[in-house]
Amino acid sequence: MSANFHPFIYFIDYFLGIIMWTLIGRVAMNIFQREDSQFFFMRVFVKYTNPLIRLFKPITPSFIIGPLVPLYVAWFFYMIRFYLMPWILGYSVMGMLSFPLESEISRQIYQFFNSIKF
């Protein structure tokens, strides 16, 4: 990783990133499966994201249709990761800490495809 942040900062970002992507995954999975589906992955997505959706229910507008509510909640985690985390750490420019989880994943994908000999 390029920046020298305390490992706890990375842990927080990775944790928030996993939550955000799980919520987005639930919305994507819901395109193909009902929420009460017996498909294992759908049950896992619903089981682990329902507590967050209930937590955010007081601030969720009633006009948002049910299948898109997880996307609305994921937006809060995006905002925390992109704006609040750098601000709390004292950076005046956004992007200093933004998305180390995704940066690490993209770096690994690049290294994998760069190592393949055609």
Percent of the chain with pLDDT over 90: 38
24 and 71 in contact (C-beta within 8 Å)? Answer: yes
Phi, psi of 99 (to 5 degrees): 60, 55
Q: Longest Cα pair distance anywhere in the chain, in angstroms?
A: 54
Q: What is the pTM of this model?
A: 0.75
The residue behind tokens 């970002």 is 13
Task: Quote the mean pLDDT of the chain.
Answer: 84
- What is the C-alpha separation between 94 and 49, in angstroms, rounded? 28
- What is the C-alpha separation between 74 and 19, in angstroms, rounded? 8
Residue 95 has pLDDT above 70, yes or no: no
Q: Where are the domains of the chain?
A: 7-115
